[in-house]
């Protein structure tokens, strides 16, 4: 445990995952200190240390594509800027369709991605087989592929931003639980922690799967729902797979690491909320084994080295929640990323920092603002490609 060194800060960021740390780094570099980051766990104990490391730009909405494209460029520069090798490999993302309806959906995504200047490709079964050696005959009718998508190793990314944030003056207090906020004259006045209350003019809710809990502890009604997702890593085998592979029908996703392991997941139903913790289940292991072996039969002989799970922070429309909450000035949301906070963190965190500083944010408020959930109006758009 590292308790806060002060009793007063300009901003407190709740959550030391990749989004919270990037936000703290931007704020500290702007000179808007002092900045405190608190996290109930250890570094990488949340979703930032439990994901598959995928970073893609194929989405159903233009706004998400643009954030993702900016994030890809940031991850390409990461080693030079932060001094940590995150092993970012642009082997592409391959989305698989099992029938004509799914392929039509992917073609629509492809057209939008191409219109944003990204070289998406539509593949027939032969093109898919050329990228996935050993795929079962007749397993798919085609797919889409974007070679500038890729995978990275999450842990050095988290550590790199952690060290960079601290180097420019941000303070990170691990093992410190944020329990709520103090309010004065209708706006944020501080954060109540397990180590006492610290005063602050603003608080950033970047608590991932616990974001909804923290918002509600601050007296705000939010629709964020924590959902548990499982993932595993197999024993290594000779490298044969460059892209991240995602199947649209059931959300199966997997890639091969530089050590040869197959790392991936598959959605199986679990109760919502964080109360049950993040264990692994026999149901997932069985479903994942059947899915992998059915798609690439020779993977059926692989042993599983380890399995784990983590929480998505889901919103009803599939878009993140970014910006100051109109009901509580000084309370800034940086959450609702589903399972894709790592993908969007470099770009989204810049907008979060601007919101904290009271600067303009170039995000459509109908898609990203927390205010979109304060009225009964239906969502203006849905980001449905919440896979892989």
Run of H or E including 304: strand 304-314
Contact (Cβ atoms closer than 8 angstroms) between residue 367 and residue 319: yes
| Overall domain count for the chain | 2
CA end-to-end distance (rounded Å), the chain: 34
Tell me how far CA of residue 321 lies from CA of 68, 246, 356, in angstroms.
Answer: 15, 25, 14
Tell me how far CA of residue 338 lies from CA of 62, 209, 334, 335, 378, in angstroms.
Answer: 18, 9, 12, 8, 20
**Cα 90 from Cα 73, distance rounded (Å):** 11
Which tens digit of pLDDT belongs to each residue from 163-195?
999 999 999 999 999 999 999 999 999 999 999
Q: Tokens 């899915």 label which residue?
A: 291
Q: Is 135 left (phi over 0), alpha (psi -120 to 50) or beta?
A: beta
* Domain end point (choices 281, 297, 313): 313
Which tens digit of pLDDT belongs to each residue from 86-98?
999 999 999 999 9
- Indicate if 165 and 308 belong to the same structural domain: no
Q: What is the CATH number of the domain that holds 44?
A: 3.50.50.60
- What pLDDT does 291 receive? 97
**pTM of structure:** 0.96
> For all residues of the chain together, what is the average pLDDT?
96
Share of the chain above pLDDT 90, in %: 93
- Indicate if 358 and 264 belong to the same structural domain: no
The answer, yes or no, to whether residue 388 has pLDDT greater than 70, is no
- Indicate if 219 and 322 belong to the same structural domain: yes
Q: Is residue 382 part of a domain?
A: no
User: Among candidates 339, 335, 317, 311, which has minimal Cα distance to 251?
Assistant: 339
- Indicate if 160 and 180 belong to the same structural domain: yes
* Domain end point (choices 284, 313, 342): 313
Tell me how far CA of residue 50 lies from CA of 53, 100, 190, 230, 233, in angstroms.
Answer: 9, 33, 30, 9, 11
Q: What is the CATH number of the domain that holds 309?
A: 3.30.9.10
- Indicate if 180 and 277 belong to the same structural domain: no
- Rounded to 5 degrees, what are φ and ψ at 41? -110, -155
Query: Half-sphere exposure of 231 toward its Cβ, with a 13 Å CA cutoff?
Result: 22
Structural domain for 174, as ranges: 8-49+155-224+316-373
- Indicate if 173 and 304 belong to the same structural domain: no
- Indicate if 241 and 306 belong to the same structural domain: yes
Which tens digit of pLDDT belongs to each residue from 54-104?
999 999 999 999 999 999 999 999 999 999 999 999 999 999 999 999 999
């Amino acid at each position: 445990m590292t308790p806060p060194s002060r009793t007063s800060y300009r901003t407190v960021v709740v959550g030391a995952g990749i989004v919270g740390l990037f936000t703290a780094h931007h704020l500290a570099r702007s000179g808007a200190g002092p900045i405190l980051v608190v996290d109930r766990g250890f570094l990488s104990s949340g979703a930032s240390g439990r994901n598959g490391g995928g970073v893609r730009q194929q989405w159903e909405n233009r706004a998400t594509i643009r954030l993702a494209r900016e994030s890809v460029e940031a991850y390409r520069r990461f080693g030079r800027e932060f001094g940590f090798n995150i092993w970012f490999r642009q082997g592409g993302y391959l989305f698989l369709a099992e029938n004509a309806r799914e392929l039509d959906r992917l073609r629509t995504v492809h057209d939008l991605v191409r219109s944003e200047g990204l070289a998406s490709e539509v593949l027939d079964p032969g093109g898919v087989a050329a990228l996935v050696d050993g795929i079962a005959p007749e397993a798919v009718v085609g797919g889409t592929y974007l070679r500038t998508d890729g995978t990275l190793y999450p842990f050095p990314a988290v550590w790199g931003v952690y060290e960079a944030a601290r180097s420019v003056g941000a303070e990170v207090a691990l093992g410190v639980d944020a329990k709520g906020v103090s309010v004065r004259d209708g706006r944020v006045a501080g954060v109540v922690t397990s180590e006492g209350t610290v005063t602050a003019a603003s608080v950033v809710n970047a608590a991932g799967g616990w974001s909804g809990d923290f918002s509600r502890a601050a007296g705000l009604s939010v629709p964020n729902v924590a959902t548990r997702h499982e993932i595993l890593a197999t024993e290594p085998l000779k490298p044969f797979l460059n892209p991240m592979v995602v199947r649209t029908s059931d959300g199966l996703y997997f890639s091969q690491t530089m050590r040869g392991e197959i790392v991936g997941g598959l959605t199986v139903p679990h109760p919502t909320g964080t109360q049950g913790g993040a264990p692994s289940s026999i149901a997932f292991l069985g479903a994942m084994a059947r899915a992998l072996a059915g798609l690439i039969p020779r993977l059926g002989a692989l042993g599983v080295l380890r399995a784990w799970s983590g929480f998505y922070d889901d919103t009803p429309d599939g878009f993140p929640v970014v910006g100051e909450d109109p009901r509580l000035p000084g309370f800034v949301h940086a959450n609702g990323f589903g399972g894709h906070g790592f993908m969007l963190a470099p770009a989204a965190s810049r907008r979060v920092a601007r919101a904290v500083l009271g600067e303009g944010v170039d995000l459509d408020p109908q898609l990203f603002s927390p205010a979109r959930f304060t009225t009964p109006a239906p969502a203006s758009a849905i980001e449905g490609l919440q896979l892989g």
